[in-house]
Amino acid sequence: MEYRKLGNSDLELSAITYGAFAIGGTMWGGNEKQDSIKAVHASLDHGVTSLDTAPFYGMGLSEELIGEAIKGKNRDKIQLLTKFGLVWDGSNNGKGDYFFDAESNGKTFPVYKYASKANIIKELEESLNRLGTDYIDLLQIHWPDSTTPIDETMEALNLLIEQGKIRAAGVCNYDLSQLKEAGKTIQLVSNQVPFSMLNRAIENEIVPYVIENNIGIIAYSPMERGLLTGKYFKEAKLKSDDHRNGYFGQFSAEKVKTLLDKIEPIAQSKNVSLSQLVLRWTTLQQGISVVLAGARNAAQAIENAKSADVTITASEMKLINDAISQF
């Protein structure tokens, strides 16, 4: 495993960071508790030291599972990354940006993007309780909230750093103007954004800016939620309540399959999976600090962790990039 300094912070994260969205179950067709905990344990056993979660993932369940999985482990050797700013329990009293309607346990409820100072403090305390810890290594706003001034949100994060409740502050899904505005109030260490072979939009403006300002990029959806594993072109099927039934529709299945068919021989020549090749390619892209990889069982977690050991030569990288450029 490689370990990389995150932006201008003193945090060192594993290049492959465990992404805990799916183990929350909501939007992913349910959850198997013991498999989820085993996935976290397998990650830790194979060099992954960084775990990224959020209150919204399973409406608290993902954080609770992470907390249970790390109980008794050496907390100093683990970096906990979580978020705030997606409110589903009505505690925002209708304030914030309406985002979408979520479903859980047969119930539908509105989700709001809300990042006021009071809400940040409230959510952090709830996260600390669920995770069973007294500090968070990296606290991130989950989505921008247009109803709360950015400086109010960032001032709250500065306060939490001063109090020792968080070690560093980051953002998620911020565009260039939002990054610049936040930088007037706080020294951000990261921006968590989508990035994959199929989605390289951040290369235009975000990557040059973060490199110049020593801000890390945490790449999420590097596998496009499993599409780039190739298994959904074969025998794998999705449950009816899995959000990926709609998510995959944004891509041309024919073009994705053509891309994977072109790069799979490289993976085969190395005796690694297509997933491992895709993850390793992602970690090697300019500006990318760490890559989030989800796993719902131990086997997937081990496969993800071992992707950091894959070697890609310059000629192989050119072949991969040429294939991607034709997508």
- What is the per-residue pLDDT for 25? 59
Q: Residue 275: helix, strand or coil by DSSP?
A: helix
Q: What is the distance between the alpha carbons of residues 34 and 14, in angstroms, rounded to a whole number?
A: 24
Q: What separation in angstroms does the CA of 291 have from each of 148, 172, 283, 308?
A: 29, 14, 6, 10
| Active-site hit among 57, 112, 174, 232 | 57
Q: What is the pLDDT of residues 134-152, one digit of tens each?
A: 999 999 999 999 999 999 9
Task: Work out the average pLDDT over 173-194.
Answer: 97
Q: Are 162 and 186 in contact (CB under 8 A)?
A: no
The Cα 183–Cα 220 span in angstroms is: 22
Q: And the tokens for 308?
A: 């950091």
pLDDT at 240: 62
Position 284 scores a pLDDT of 97
Between CA 205 and CA 31 the distance in angstroms is 37
Work out the percent of the chain whose per-residue pLDDT is above 90: 75
**Entry pTM:** 0.92
Q: Is 135 assigned a catalytic role?
A: no
pLDDT digits (tens, 9 = 90+) for 223-234: 887 788 877 666
Q: What is the pLDDT of residues 33-88, one digit of tens each?
A: 788 899 999 999 999 999 999 999 988 989 999 999 999 999 999 999 999 999 99
Report the C-alpha gap between 233 and 257 in whole angstroms: 7
What tens digit of pLDDT does each residue of 242-272 get? 666 677 767 777 788 889 999 999 999 999 9
Per-residue model confidence (pLDDT) at position 241: 63
What number is the average pLDDT over the span 284-305?
A: 94
Strands (E), the chain: 3-5, 12-14, 16-19, 50-52, 79-84, 86-87, 97-104, 107-113, 136-141, 166-172, 190-194, 216-220, 288-294
Looking at residue 95, its pLDDT comes to: 95
pLDDT for res 314:
96
Q: At what angle do helices 314-325 and 274-283 cross, to 10 degrees?
A: 100
Is pLDDT above 70 for 236?
no
The predicted pLDDT at position 281 comes to 97
In the chain, what are the domains?
3-325 (3.20.20.100)
What pLDDT is recorded for position 235? Answer: 61
* Band (106; pLDDT cuts 50, 70, 90): confident
Q: Is the pLDDT of residue 26 over 70?
A: no
In which band, very low, low, confident or very high, does the pLDDT at 107 lie, cut at 50, 70 and 90?
A: confident
**Cβ neighbours around 273 below 10 Å, total:** 20
Band of the pLDDT at 127, cuts 50, 70, 90? very high
